[in-house]
Amino acid sequence: MKILVCISHVPDTTSKINFTDDNTAFDSTGVQFVINPNDEFGLTRAMWFKEKQGAQVTVVNVGTADTEPTLRKALAIGADAAIRVNTPATDGFSVAKQLAHVAKEGAYDLIIAGRESIDYNGGMVPGMLAGLIDANFVNNCIGLEVEGTSAKAIREIDGGKETVSTALPLVIGSQKGLVEESDLRIPNMRGIMMARKKPLTIVEPVSSEAETTSVAFEKPTPKGAVTLVSPDNLDELVNLLHNEAKVI
């Protein structure tokens, strides 16, 4: 089985986020980038298929050269090869189109993409990718088994979960629950050394036009000041809740 895992290069959630050019561009200065968490759950499941069923795992990213450390980390975790499509990730459709071209060229049986990236949270790429390559699609996937050319997937739905059966080729939108957080892997020294020898292929993009454009970014409203009230002064607390907060 050939597996393609789509990897997004996203800011660490602990990074301080700022914008430049009158809030129209993301400021990457001093920001640590990581594998998108939803993609990491998918990559970990792909590694299980590699170890249990002998699957061949390739990771792919749409991005410029600064995303290569993230791909190298995926190789250190255990992926066999990496592909970088040499173009900035501008919008969901253009990314899906680049990934679709790679998927068709490689004739992959299973394509794993995180249900969404934690930076833009668009949630568009997996579904559009499946549509572009005419593959079956299961989103919000929290369980996956493959036997021959058949797959059984569990997906999260409102108020519960649903088990579906389908055939390969298959695209899934992975998320937390596909594997346990304790199963996520930290590259060891041997993996890091081996990753340096694994192929990282750079391919040029196919023609594509962005369907959406980010106009501006805005930070959440800062939290208001906190007023501390002594537990012995209930009258003051009631007064503040009534006259200032106006909640009673």
Tens digits of residue pLDDT in 77-109: 999 999 999 999 989 999 999 999 999 999 999
**Percent of the chain at pLDDT above 70?**
100
The residue assigned the tokens 């914008």 is 19
- pLDDT tens digits for range 21-38: 999 888 988 899 999 999
184: buried, middle or exposed (CB in 10 Å: 19+, 13-18, 0-12)?
Answer: middle
Sequence letter at residue 224: G
Question: For 70-228, where are the E strands, in sequence order?
Answer: 81-86, 110-114, 136-147, 150-157, 160-167, 170-174, 200-203
Distance (Å, whole) CA 126 – CA 136: 11
Alpha helices in the chain (DSSP H): 37-53, 68-77, 92-106, 125-133, 189-195, 234-243
Residue 128, both tokens: 């559009």
The per-residue pLDDT for range 126-137, each reduced to its tens digit, is 999 999 999 999
Q: Is the pLDDT of residue 13 over 90?
A: no
Listed by start position, the domains of the chain span 2-219
Say yes or no to pLDDT of 183 above 90.
yes
Closest listed residue to residue 73, CA positions, set 111, 113, 106, 32 = 32
Instruction: Give the model's confidence band at 209: pLDDT under 50 very low, under 70 low, under 90 confident, else very high.
Output: confident
CATH architecture of 2-219: 3-Layer(aba) Sandwich (3.40)
pLDDT of residue 227: 85
Query: What was the pLDDT predicted at 17?
Result: 87
Q: What pTM does this model have?
A: 0.87
